[in-house]
C-alpha cells in the first residue's frame, strides 16, 4: 500500500470513512492521489466523512474474485453525501440485489479481509455500503 492512501484503508479500524480534501479548493479527492484532481494542489489533508451516500449504479457479479467474498455480490458506485461528484467503487451488502434502487441511501460499513500472507501486516479495512437506517 502506498503511504498516500494509507489513511483511507486504515480508517475502518475506527469505523471512519476517511477521504482526502484539498486545502486550496476544498474539494474531496478520491481515489487518494499525491495532488488534487481539481486543481493539482499538493495541499491535501484527510477528513472524516459521515459515511452516507447514495447508489448511482450497480451490477451483480456472479464470479468469485476474492477469497471470502462469495458470488453473487453487488458491485456499486456510491456518490458521497458531502460531495456527490466524489464516488466510491464498492460493494453493497445486507440487501437482496433485487431490492436495490437507483439513488437509494446507503451507509458505510467496514470489513477487514484476511491479512495477505505476505508478512506486510497492512491494517486494511474495506469500506462497503449497506442500506441506510432511516433519515
* Site size for Zn ion (CB under 5 A): 7
Q: Residue from 17, 19, 22, 28 that binds Zn ion (CB under 5 A)?
A: 22
DSSP output for the chain: --GGGHHHHHGGGGT-EEEEEETTT--EE-S--SS-TTT--S-EEEEEE--EEEEEEEEEE-S--STT-PSSEEEEEEEETTEEEEEEEEEE-SS-GGG--TT-EEEEEEE-PPPPTTS------EEEEEE----
Residue span binding Zn ion (CB under 5 A) among the ranges 9-17, 35-43, 109-117, 121-129: 35-43
- Whose Cβ is closer to Zn ion: residue 38's or residue 52's? 38
Q: Which three cell numbers stand for residue 107?
A: 451507509
Could you say whether residue 130 binds Zn ion (CB under 5 A)?
no
Nearer to Zn ion, 24 or 123 (CB): 24
Beta-carbon contacts of 21 under 8 Å, excluding residues fewer than 6 positions away, are 27, 28, 29, 44, 45, 46, 47
Binding residue (CB under 5 A) for Zn ion from 4, 39, 57, 71 = 39
The reply to whether 36 sits near Zn ion by the rule CB under 5 A is: yes
Among 5, 7, 35, 38, binds Zn ion (CB under 5 A): 38
Residue of closest CB approach to Zn ion: 22
Smallest distance, Zn ion to C-beta of residue 120, A: 31
| Chain residues in the site for Zn ion (CB under 5 A) | 22, 24-25, 36, 38-39, 41
Amino acid at each position: 500500500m502506498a503511504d498516500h492512501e494509507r489513511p483511507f484503508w486504515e480508517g475502518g479500524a475506527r469505523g471512519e470513512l476517511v477521504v482526502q480534501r484539498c486545502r486550496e479548493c476544498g474539494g474531496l479527492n478520491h481515489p487518494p492521489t499525491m495532488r488534487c484532481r481539481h486543481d493539482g494542489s499538493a495541499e491535501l489533508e484527510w477528513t472524516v466523512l459521515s459515511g452516507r451516500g447514495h447508489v448511482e449504479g450497480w451490477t451483480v457479479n456472479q464470479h468469485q474474485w476474492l477469497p471470502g467474498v462469495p458470488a453473487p455480490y453487488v458491485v456499486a458506485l456510491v456518490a458521497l453525501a458531502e460531495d456527490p461528484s466524489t464516488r466510491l467503487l464498492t460493494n453493497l451488502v445486507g440487501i437482496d440485489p433485487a431490492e436495490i434502487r437507483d439513488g437509494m441511501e446507503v451507509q458505510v460499513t467496514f470489513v477487514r479481509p484476511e491479512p495477505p500472507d505476505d508478512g506486510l501486516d497492512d491494517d486494511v479495512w474495506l469500506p462497503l455500503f449497506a442500506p441506510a437506517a432511516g433519515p
